[in-house]
Amino acid sequence: MNDPYLSVKEQLKNGYYPLVVKTPRVIVEMSSPSPEDLDQSGRLSYAEPEFYDIYLLSLTLRSINGRVLPRDADLVMSVLSGISTSMRRRMFVYTMCLLEESRKAYDLLEAFCYEEESRLLWRSWKASQRFGISPLSDQRALSPLQSNWIIWNTAEDDRILDRSEWDRFLFSASAMNSNVSKIRTKWDNSEKEEESRRESMRRAARSGDLDFLKDDKRRNSSNGVKTEDDLREEMRRWVAGEEDGHDKIIREYKESMRRNIRETEERAQRMAEEARQRRADMIDVKSTPIVALTDEQVNRLSNVKRTVVTDEHGEKNNHVISKYIIGEESRGNLSINEDGEISSKDQARNLMNDLSRRVPKLEEV
């Protein structure tokens, strides 16, 4: 089964999405272009836009047959411009596919952050750093995706810490304040909603059913007969080096990246805001705070009488004494009849006797 988060994990590990292109004699390693690579290619080909794709390709090639290529677009481009147009086009399509994978990774990042796997990876990053080992493999700077992930995990760490403090606080506060249960219910509902949202995100990501996949219809081809104007326009686009599909991929990638960075920041802000509100609620609940007392204060408090003196016990004692100790002995009401059965002495209370004693009389009609 394919890992739905493969592109996210690869990019967190390397800072880019890697691709290996193999032929019987050549093995080429490529990487997904970073936003800086896209900008750099744009600047380098500013005067000659038709070389944009070659410059971009120069920046995405990492090694050929194990020889690591320099990150010098001009130098690589001078040699790369000697390959055939067929190969150039193929490699450029690969570059665009890598860009698409990067874009998908941005879309999947939020769902991945909600997975336990992400948190385990985050812990392993932190553990590596504790031992002085950088979790980044030969990277000089964090990629936007890595930055996003770190921002989210840091915010999540704070959230978990806040929640833990909150739970402890509620536990102690519940003994003193009746409002605690209301506040707890309020925040519990909020957490349930959040967990439900996270679960739906995880499910969508695992099944690949994200909204962005539905919009990925970028190919349009017409099979109708072309007019001369169509032909003119097509030729003009071709001559001008305009590649509509690729322009769209690059634009969407940049938009997606910016949107996701913004959303992550907003999520982190929301988490901080929630933590702030919880703290505000804590202040409300702290009407009778637990404070440390000095010995003198304890003594003073112990001298203050906070009891009501009543004679309730004395009354009860008198009742018991008069009934069971001082009171005279009386005979019981039970006896044993001729048949040896226990019966009450008060025969007048017996219903059968009452019936047998009845005298029948006639009434005038």
Q: Which residue has the tokens 């929640």?
A: 163
Q: Which is nearer to another protein, 224 or 314 (CB)?
A: 224
Q: Min. distance of Cβ 44 from another protein in angstroms?
A: 14
Q: Min. distance of Cβ 16 from another protein in angstroms?
A: 14
Q: Which is nearer to another protein, 6 or 272 (CB)?
A: 6
Q: Min. distance of Cβ 152 from another protein in angstroms?
A: 26
Q: Min. distance of Cβ 193 from another protein in angstroms?
A: 37
Q: Which is nearer to another protein, 2 or 302 (CB)?
A: 2
Tell me which residues touch another protein (CB under 8 A).
6, 19-26, 28, 48, 50-51, 53-54, 64-65, 67, 69-70, 75-76, 78-90, 93-94, 96-97, 100, 219, 221, 226, 228, 231-232, 234-236, 238-239, 241, 245
Neighbouring residues of 147: CB distance < 8 A, sequence distance ≥ 6: 261
CA–CA distance, 314 with 282 (Å, rounded to integer): 47
Q: Min. distance of Cβ 28 from another protein in angstroms?
A: 7
Q: Which is nearer to another protein, 55 or 166 (CB)?
A: 55
Q: Which is nearer to another protein, 246 or 278 (CB)?
A: 246
Q: Which is nearer to another protein, 49 or 289 (CB)?
A: 49
Q: Min. distance of Cβ 46 from another protein in angstroms?
A: 15
Q: Look up residue 133 and give its amino acid.
A: I
Compute the Cα dihedral for 253, 255, 261, 266 and give only its sign.
negative
